[in-house]
């Protein structure tokens, strides 16, 4: 029987802290404000947006929506971004991606001021994660993994961490953030040989492959802590992760569930970045 590292208590603690910081800012006349920029109306985006807006409302962050039609021109979006950069009353910007085909992702990302980049999409933010300096903000899902590990007091310094998956939104930044905590970090990719053996070397395994149920008992051993970033809908229509929870849970010391784990913490991280950006603006 392992400990289930639920997201809910992490979220509750973060909400409480964010609400207190928002209140303090509002007393100084600063209303922490997030710009949400959405092109079109993809199902995924709408659902995430709804979650973000609810979380913001709960802690006292204002949201301004900037909605463009799916066939908007790049110039229009660049004008919106420039307006957001120039507006001192907006502290952070969430831009939904991937964008429709007519947009050049690189150009759009470069158009955002790193200090408003609360979702970690600019070169400034990514360089900040890589170099461990306070430029921009790390990608929220990567930070959510670390928030969970810290909330549950999982030791990291000197421990071995294995990160499976090397995306720029989770794997690589999570590896850098684990290194920052003085873990010895191994970054695995789809060419990694003997993945089960490599995973079993770890004290902490962060799984961010985007492959449903890929990691099971053969990759795991007693004493480990597993963070499952994957989120999929299985044949029975139920949410599940990259880890076969039923196999993993009896083996390891602690594991994040799906749903109710990393995913739930992500929006709280996003909101905390907006609050931090507002604090820096004072």
| Contact residues: a copy of itself, CB under 8 A | 106, 123-124, 126-131, 133, 135, 157-160, 166, 168, 172, 175-176, 179, 182, 184-189, 191-193, 198, 201
Burial of 91 (0-12, 13-18, 19+ CB in 10 A): buried
DSSP3 helix / strand / coil % (the chain, rounded to 5): 45, 15, 40
Q: Is 281 annotated as a binding residue?
A: no
Rounded to a whole number of angstroms, the minimum distance from the CB of residue 146 to a copy of itself is 16
Taking each helix axis as running N to C, give the angle between helix 171-180 and helix 140-151, from 0 to 180 degrees, rounded to the nearest 10.
40
Rounded to a whole number of angstroms, the minimum distance from the CB of residue 145 to a copy of itself is 17
- Asked if 25 contacts 276 with a C-beta cutoff of 8 angstroms, the reply is no
Closer residue to a copy of itself (CB): 10 or 209: 209
Rounded to a whole number of angstroms, the minimum distance from the CB of residue 193 to a copy of itself is 5
Closer residue to a copy of itself (CB): 122 or 268: 122
Residue 179, C-beta contacts closer than 8 angstroms, at least 6 positions apart: 185
Q: Is 120 annotated as a binding residue?
A: no
Closer residue to a copy of itself (CB): 137 or 245: 137
Beta bridge pairs of residue 206: 163, 227
Q: Is 223 annotated as a binding residue?
A: no
Q: Is 108 annotated as a binding residue?
A: no
Q: What backbone phi and psi angles, to 5 degrees, belong to 172?
A: -65, -50
Rounded to a whole number of angstroms, the minimum distance from the CB of residue 142 to a copy of itself is 12
Closer residue to a copy of itself (CB): 162 or 271: 162
Q: Closest Cα partner for 22 from 71, 69, 64, 60?
A: 60
Annotated binding site for NADP(+): 165-167, 231
């Amino acid at each position: 029987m392992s400990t289930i590292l639920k997201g809910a208590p992490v979220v509750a603690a973060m909400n409480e802290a964010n609400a207190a910081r928002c209140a303090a800012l509002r007393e100084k006349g600063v209303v922490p404000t997030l710009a949400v920029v959405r092109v079109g109306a993809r199902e995924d985006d709408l659902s995430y947006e709804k979650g973000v807006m609810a979380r913001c409302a709960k802690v006292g962050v204002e949201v301004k929506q900037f909605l463009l039609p799916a066939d908007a021109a790049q110039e229009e979006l660049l004008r919106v971004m420039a307006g957001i950069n120039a507006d001192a009353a907006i502290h952070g910007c969430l831009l939904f991606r991937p964008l429709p085909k007519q947009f050049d992702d690189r150009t759009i990302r470069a158009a955002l001021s790193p200090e408003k980049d609360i979702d970690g999409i600019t070169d400034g933010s990514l360089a900040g994660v890589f170099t461990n300096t306070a430029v921009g903000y790390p990608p929220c899902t990567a930070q959510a993994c670390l928030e969970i590990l810290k909330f549950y007091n999982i030791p990291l310094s000197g421990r071995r961490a294995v990160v499976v998956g090397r995306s720029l939104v989770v794997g690589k930044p999570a590896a850098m953030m684990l290194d920052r905590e003085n873990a010895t970090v191994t970054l695995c990719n789809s060419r990694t040989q003997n993945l089960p053996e490599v995973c079993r070397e770890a004290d902490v395994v962060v799984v961010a492959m985007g492959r449903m149920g890929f990691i099971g008992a053969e990759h795991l051993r007693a004493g480990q802590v597993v963070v499952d970033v994957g989120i999929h809908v299985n044949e029975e229509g139920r949410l599940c992760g990259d880890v076969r929870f039923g196999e993993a849970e009896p083996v390891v010391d602690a594991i994040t569930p799906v749903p109710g784990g990393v995913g739930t913490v992500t929006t709280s991280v996003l909101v905390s970045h907006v609050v931090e950006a507002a604090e820096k603006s004072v």
